[in-house]
Amino acid sequence: MAATASVSSAAAAGSLWPRSAARSDEGQLEFHGISAAELLEKYGSPLYVLDTDEVRMRARNFVSDAQSAFRNITTKASFAAKAFISKEIVRIVSEEGMYVDTCSAGEMRIALAAGVPGRRLILHGNNKSDEEIRLAVENDFAKIVLDSPDEPRRVARIARETGKRARVMLRVTVGVHAGGHEYISTSHEDQKFGVALLAAGEDSSALEKSETAVKAIAKGPALSVLKDILSLQDDLELVGIHSHIGSQIHDASAFNEAARRILLLRETLYFTDGFTAPEIDLGGGYSVAYLDSDESMNIKSTFEDIAGTFAKFSREGLPSPAVSFEPGRSIIAPAGVTLYKVGTVKPVALSDGTTRVYVSVDGGMSDNIRPALYDADYTAVLANRANAAESDVIESNVRRDDSDENAQASAEKSAEKSAETCLARVVGMHCESGDIIVKNVYLPADIKRGDILAVPATGAYGRTMASNYNQVPRPAVAAVSSEGSHLMIRRETVEDLLSLDVSQ
Ligand SMILES: Cc1ncc(COP(=O)(O)O)c(C=O)c1O
């Protein structure tokens, strides 16, 4: 099957679509030669499609890029299961050498049910229950990432009761501000995660020089909690220091600065207590493209940069720490595409004399909350038939941080190239006017009920953040690969929802 330029070049560019996405000669969008229409026919609509070959390749590349950048330093990568979880995906990333990062009993139990040994699992969370801590300790988790000053004692008590020694890290808020939306940026002071590196009011310029940095860090809350952990050594093994600075980060220098600050903390702990933390975990957050105009982070060169920081700032005489990473989105987002059936198509006249066509689909904010939650941008293409103007449509999906007006203007400019498109907004079927999936996109002017729309880059934080708003059952997840397609997670039914409603 020959592929038209648009989808295949987007796929080749590396990130918006899975590599298997192509247009057939008849104009059908396909994955591994299986058309979107066939997938909906077989598994129903709407549908999350996940290319498991793409996930495998991304996990493999991540692991090998880390190893080759850090050469003599041990590297570890864990898949952040909050981005997407199913037993099959957990198995795939584990087979590719990744650990699995969990942050609730549900995620832990799915990972364990997939057959991953506890020694390959990590537990995170700012409010872990005793039951979650116990499950992690009993299963010998690789690490439990402590998130607040009271946690060392809680975990130590549970470890003692269980007759085990728990491996722990401390999550430190290093004060590097990175990431897209405020809600996905996690290393500024005024938020719920981690323990601060510096005492409140301490000037972060102290961190610029090694001598002043060590003094400032020695007075900070993070060092004090690390000391608490060391005082509980019978029950806790301190395996490292953790930092996660945010998500959808484009700038490698944010990771470099976080790494430098954590190395300074490690050095301070060595000076004060003679303890050398064996590992530094730099968390996740590697950006992906959601629009053709977006760039995804170049992971290989980011690692090379961070490796340079390690080489530059590691103190002579102190053995190098192992370094670990927790990618979620960059492993799974571009492997996922959501397919929807088009329903109502409604042209709405705007006050500036233009028209916007509201294209309603059979899903919406219940299967993808990111636009409503983070103001996230997506794009969409017609999947079930040829569209002569498609490359214009794809090129026109240019919007990153710009205003609606800019997005509309650039979309309009592209559309001048084709009389066959209309300015559209793809909306869901929920009772909220903010139920928008794609804010501005040029779609074929003859778009109609029954057409299929494909929204790329929905593999991360789509299904895992899905809800039953308006009592809409969550869609199925179908896996596609070179071996064909199969059901990964079945569609919920209204019967499932009714079965939860147990009062008479
Ligand atoms: C502690 C931690 N690690 C890793 C991740 C994964 O981030 P991403 O999916 O952006 O790579 C997150 C996301 O919130 C996180 O909180």
pLDDT tens over the chain, length 504 residues: 333 335 544 444 447 999 999 999 999 999 999 999 999 999 999 999 999 999 999 999 999 999 999 988 999 999 999 999 999 999 999 999 999 999 999 999 999 999 999 999 999 999 999 999 999 999 999 999 999 999 999 999 999 999 999 999 999 999 887 765 554 555 556 778 999 999 988 888 888 888 899 999 999 999 999 999 999 999 999 999 999 999 999 888 999 999 999 999 999 999 999 999 999 999 999 999 999 989 899 999 999 999 998 888 877 788 999 999 999 999 999 999 999 999 999 999 999 999 999 999 999 999 999 999 999 999 999 999 976 444 433 333 333 334 455 445 545 544 444 448 999 999 999 999 999 999 999 999 999 999 999 999 999 999 999 999 999 999 999 999 999 999 999 999 999 999 999 998
User: Whole-angstrom Cα distance, residue 238 to residue 278?
Assistant: 8
Q: How far is Cα 209 from Cα 212, in angstroms, rounded to an integer?
A: 6
**C-alpha to C-alpha distance for 238 and 167, rounded to whole angstroms:** 6
Q: Token pair 């190395």 is at which residue? A: 263
**Cβ-contact 259, 172 below 8 angstroms:** no
Alpha carbon distance 268, 215 (integer Å): 8
User: Which amino acids bring their CB within 6 angstroms of ligand 1?
Assistant: 80, 82-83, 101, 124, 244, 247, 283-286, 326-330, 460
Quote the CA–CA distance of 239 and 376 in Å, as a whole number. 36
Q: State the Cα–Cα distance between residues 202 and 186, nearest whole angstrom.
A: 19
Ligand 1 centroid to residue 444 C-alpha, Å:
37
Q: Residues 69, 300: contact at Cβ < 8 Å?
A: yes
Q: What residues contact 464, with CB distance under 8 A and at least 6 apart?
A: 82, 83, 84, 85
pLDDT of residue 404: 52
Residue 461 Cα: closest atom of ligand 1 = 9
Please give the domain boundaries of the chain with CATH numbers for all domains. 5-52+333-499 (2.40.37.10), 124-327 (3.20.20.10)
Write down the residue that tokens 């207590």 correspond to. Answer: 273
The residues that bridge with 341 in the sheet, in sequence order, are 452
Helix residue ranges per DSSP H, 139-251: 151-162, 210-218, 221-231
Question: H or E element: which one contains 348?
Answer: strand 336-349
> Do the strands 421-427 and 355-361 form a parallel or antiparallel pair, or are they unpaired?
parallel
Place of tokens 């899905």: 466
Q: DSSP states of 241-303 as a string? A: EE---BSSB--HHHHHHHHHHHHHHHHHHHHHH-----EEE----B---SSTT-----HHHHH
Cα separation, 328 vs 334, in Å, equals: 11
Q: Report in angstroms the alpha-carbon separations of 98 from 5, 64, 77, 143.
A: 34, 11, 5, 14
- How close is the Cα of 332 to the center of ligand 1, in Å? 12
Q: Is the peptide bond before 319 cis (omega within 30 degrees of 0)?
A: no
Q: Which of 5, 431, 487, 498 is catalytic?
A: 431
Q: Which atom of ligand 1 is nearest to the CA of 83?
A: 9
What pLDDT shows up at residue 417? 41
Q: How many residues are recorded in the chain?
A: 504
* DSSP line for 27-57: S-EEETTEEHHHHHHHH-SSEEEEEHHHHHH
Amino acid found at 178: A
In this structure, the residue with its CA closest to atom 5 of ligand 1 is 284
pLDDT computed for residue 60 by the predictor: 98
Q: What token pair was written down for 478?
A: 């179908």
Instruction: Compute CA distances 311 → 316, 318, 375, 406, 434, whole Å.
Output: 10, 12, 38, 43, 48
Cβ atoms < 10 Å from Cβ of 403 = 9
Cα 5 to middle of ligand 1, angstroms: 34
Strands 355-361 and 436-444: unpaired
- Ligand 1, residues 82, 85, 146, 281: which to mutate, most atoms within 8 A of Cβ? 82
Distance 473 CA to ligand 1 centre (A): 27
Q: Is 431 a catalytic residue?
A: yes
Atom of ligand 1 nearest to the CA of 145: 1
State residue 415's pLDDT score. Answer: 44
Q: What is the pLDDT of residue 8?
A: 46
- How far is the centre of ligand 1, averaged over its atoms, from the C-alpha of 82 (Å)? 8
Helix (H, G, I), strand (E, B), or coil: what is residue 62?
helix
Q: Which burial class, exposed, middle or buried, applies to 49 when counting CB atoms under 10 A from its CB (0-12, 13-18, 19+)?
A: buried
Q: Which of 188, 326, 465, when mutated, tests ligand 1's pocket best, judged by the most ligand atoms within 8 Å of its CB?
A: 326
Q: What is the pLDDT of residue 288?
A: 96
For the CA of 184, the nearest atom of ligand 1:
14
Amino acid at 385: R
Check: CB of residue 228 under 8 Å from CB of residue 156: no
Which ligand 1 atom is the nearest neighbour of the CA of 333?
Answer: 9
The C-alpha atoms of residue 103 and residue 227 are separated, in whole angstroms, by 25
How far, in Å, is the centroid of ligand 1 from the Cα of 187? 12
What is the pLDDT, as a whole number, of residue 179? 61
pLDDT, residue 7, reads 55
Ligand 1 atom 16: residue of nearest CA: 244
Q: Find all residues with CB under 8 Å of 1, minimum gap 6, and list them.
A: 22, 24, 25, 30, 33
Two structure tokens written together for 151: 């946690």
Question: How far apart (Å, rounded) are the C-alpha atoms in residues 443 and 445?
Answer: 6
> Dihedral, CA atoms, 296, 298, 299, 305, nearest 10 degrees?
-140
Cα–Cα distance, 493 to 41 (Å, whole number): 17
Query: Going by C-beta distance under 8 Å and a sequence separation of 6 or more, which residues neighbour residue 308?
Result: 256
pLDDT computed for residue 188 by the predictor: 54
